Chains A and B, each alone.
Chain A
Amino acid sequence: MIRFFRLLPYHLKSAIQGLVRHSATAFSAISAVTMTLILMALFMLLTGNISSFTKNIESDFRIHASIDAVQDEADIAKLQQKVESIPGVKIVEFSNKDQELAKLKEENENIFGMYEEGDANPLRDVFIIETATPEDIEPVTATLNTTEGINKAEYGGDGVSVMVDLFKAIRNGGFIFVGALSLLAVFLISTTIKMTIYARSTEIGIMRNVGATNGFIRVPFIAEGLVIGLVGALLPCIFTYFGYSYLYQILNGQFLSNMLVMQEVYPFALNICYVLLGCGVLVGVLGSFMAVSKYLRWKR
């Protein structure tokens, strides 16, 4: 171990020397890392935002449950307790028919103004119910519809749920795609590094001839892989951080409508940068380890 640290300057020096002297192959390995990581960054930005869109829309899911007109206040309070005890229900809010009318007027201007005169309000008192998870919405609605005292329970509607399903599909597909892409990257980079090492198999042979241990031979190559991974991840990181900040700024933080709110630059883009750097280093080290081990395996 002490020897390892004493030799560290030598290893680092020979890694950098190796990169400089084999700059053509090093460049191709670095660009392989860069291209893959840029693709990966794009998909991470996309899926990250889609999952944030979905979460936003899902949180808008609320159940409207209208209450039978005959109920008096005490009954309503009892009913509210009953609704709160349904599994999956998070918050129950009571809103009387005047408040409901005011809301309608606010959203649709003055068309509903005519119902304000006298006793003309056709609306009912409602409970506005939020569930713990979006998956609870359907069963809770079904339960509410069979509950005595509730006239009718409804939620968002089919259109929104189709959109959420679509987003979910894109997100899951994206994750699978990114996973497959990362595997491909390891393979690609390992092949590239294998080629750089193949070009140096005589060097490895000579090292062995003068009595270098396998560990000693391996270290500079792995250090090279590490540097390749780091340098290759640099450009995608810059691209992700500054590109996303710029996009966030010109789109004002939302995509098409205010329902689709983008992830904030910090910490989202920064986290992606960490992931990219980590992937770059991992892939570089793994690739060169695999490649150099192939040339160190020998039989007598």
Chain B
Amino acid sequence: MILLENVSKSFKNGVHALRDVNLYIEEGEFVYIIGPTGSGKSTLIKLLDGELIPSSGRVVVAGTDVGKLRHSKVPLYRRNIGVVFQDFRLLPELTVFENIAFALQVIGLDKVTIRRRVREILELVSLEDKAKSFPRELSGGQQQRATIGRAIANSPRVLIADEPTGNLDPEKSQEIMDLLEKINQEENTTILMVTHDSNLVDMNKKRTIALEEGYIVADIQKGGYIHHD
């Protein structure tokens, strides 16, 4: 599903964010990406969602060579992947229902289909009773669930979660974790979760990839957080 071949990324200011990364993630996998600040996690995500082009190497997601995409095709490619951010990024002027429907309007579905799908999603993320609420009326956990709902609305093959629990307390974090696992199992969505939360990683053991200074320093199938000195 996701293939990185000898991928390096350096910036004009001389920073080498990623160095010769090789990685293969299969369809339906749930993978943690851990590492300290500045280890290249964000760059990896930007390479995957087409925001950046690798300096060398190949990034292939769901059969698309992301680095070779023409500019105008990037939006179309992005419909294959959902992204969840630490800071939620919901549209403040739209209700929860509208926020989720937004992702479907963008790809040009008709009204009836949108309404049906949004109801399904609201049920999946347990926000049925918050459909008409605005983001500011929700708690952090609820907002993050709405964001996840928006990210998976158009049934992407890959879901990238960038520190989805970064702003939440442990209890709410576990809730989000459970939701992601549910999506992983029910919709067979490949999930890539970037996190700092060692407790979460230890409690829900999954394949864990550790990045440090742009290198992959560990790739452990049985999981567990790797502690740095």
- Pick out which of these stretches binds chain B: A36-44, A140-148, A208-216, A239-247: A208-216
**Is B71 an interface residue when CB atoms closer than 8 A count as contact?**
yes
**Is A207 an interface residue when CB atoms closer than 8 A count as contact?**
yes
Contact A209 B71 (CB under 8 A): no
The one of A208, A210, A214, A216 that contacts B150, using a Cβ cutoff of 8 Å = A210
**Is B103 an interface residue when CB atoms closer than 8 A count as contact?**
yes
**Is B64 an interface residue when CB atoms closer than 8 A count as contact?**
no
Query: How does the 8 Å CB contact mask read for A129-171 relative to B, with 1 for contact and 0 for none?
Result: 0000000000000000000000000000000000000000000
In the assembled complex, the Cα of A12 lies from the Cα of B90 at a distance in Å of: 22
Contact B75 A300 (CB under 8 A): no
Contact A205 B89 (CB under 8 A): yes
- Pick out which of these stretches binds chain A: B23-31, B47-55, B191-199: B47-55
**Is A203 an interface residue when CB atoms closer than 8 A count as contact?**
yes
Contact B106 A216 (CB under 8 A): yes
Contact B108 A208 (CB under 8 A): no
A: contact size bracket: 20 to 34
Q: Which of the listed residues A17, A203, A206, A216 has the most CB atoms from chain B within 10 Å of its own CB?
A: A206
**Is A255 an interface residue when CB atoms closer than 8 A count as contact?**
no
The one of A6, A17, A207 that contacts B108, using a Cβ cutoff of 8 Å = A6
In chain A, positions 10-29 with a C-beta closer than 8 Å to chain B are 10, 17, 21
**Is B229 an interface residue when CB atoms closer than 8 A count as contact?**
no
**Is B105 an interface residue when CB atoms closer than 8 A count as contact?**
yes
Q: Enumerate chain B residues within 8 angstroms of A214, measured Cβ to Cβ.
A: 72, 75
Contact B106 A207 (CB under 8 A): yes
Query: How does the 8 Å CB contact mask read for B51-79 relative to A, with 1 for contact and 0 for none?
Result: 11100000000000000000110111111
Q: Enumerate chain A residues within 8 angstroms of B49, measured Cβ to Cβ.
A: 209
**Is A202 an interface residue when CB atoms closer than 8 A count as contact?**
yes
B8 to chain A, nearest CB (A): 15
B214 to chain A, nearest CB (A): 19
**Is B215 an interface residue when CB atoms closer than 8 A count as contact?**
no
**Is A7 an interface residue when CB atoms closer than 8 A count as contact?**
yes
* Nearest-neighbor residue (CB-CB) of A4 within chain B: B108
Q: Enumerate chain A residues within 8 angstroms of B151, measured Cβ to Cβ.
A: 210
In the assembled complex, the Cα of A257 lies from the Cα of B71 at a distance in Å of: 67
Q: Which of the listed residues A202, A210, A212, A213 has the most CB atoms from chain B within 10 Å of its own CB?
A: A210
Contact A209 B52 (CB under 8 A): no
Q: How many residues of B contact A (CB 8 A)?
A: 28
CB contact under 8 A between A209 and B79, given known A300-B50, A300-B71: no
Q: Enumerate chain A residues within 8 angstroms of B93, measured Cβ to Cβ.
A: 17, 21
Contact B51 A300 (CB under 8 A): yes
Contact B72 A213 (CB under 8 A): yes
In the assembled complex, the Cα of A213 lies from the Cα of B105 at a distance in Å of: 12
Q: Enumerate chain B residues within 8 angstroms of A208, measured Cβ to Cβ.
A: 75, 78
**Is A3 an interface residue when CB atoms closer than 8 A count as contact?**
yes
* Nearest-neighbor residue (CB-CB) of A210 within chain B: B103
B54 to chain A, nearest CB (A): 10
* Nearest-neighbor residue (CB-CB) of A300 within chain B: B53
Q: Enumerate chain A residues within 8 angstroms of B50, measured Cβ to Cβ.
A: 300
* Nearest-neighbor residue (CB-CB) of B156 within chain A: A211
Contact A7 B91 (CB under 8 A): no
In the assembled complex, the Cα of A124 lies from the Cα of B110 at a distance in Å of: 90
In the assembled complex, the Cα of A203 lies from the Cα of B92 at a distance in Å of: 9
CB contact under 8 A between A211 and B107, given known A206-B89, A300-B51: yes
Contact B108 A211 (CB under 8 A): no
In the assembled complex, the Cα of A209 lies from the Cα of B83 at a distance in Å of: 7
In the assembled complex, the Cα of A21 lies from the Cα of B92 at a distance in Å of: 11
In the assembled complex, the Cα of A10 lies from the Cα of B150 at a distance in Å of: 18
Query: How does the 8 Å CB contact mask read for A46-67 relative to B, with 1 for contact and 0 for none?
Result: 0000000000000000000000
Contact A211 B53 (CB under 8 A): no
A interface list, Cβ under 8 A from B: 3, 6-7, 10, 17, 21, 202-203, 205-214, 216, 300
Q: List 13 A-B contacts (CB under 8 A).
A: A6-B110, A10-B105, A206-B90, A210-B103, A210-B106, A210-B150, A211-B77, A211-B106, A211-B107, A213-B72, A214-B75, A300-B50, A300-B52
B interface list, Cβ under 8 A from A: 49-53, 71-72, 74-79, 83, 89-91, 93, 102-103, 105-108, 110, 150-151, 154
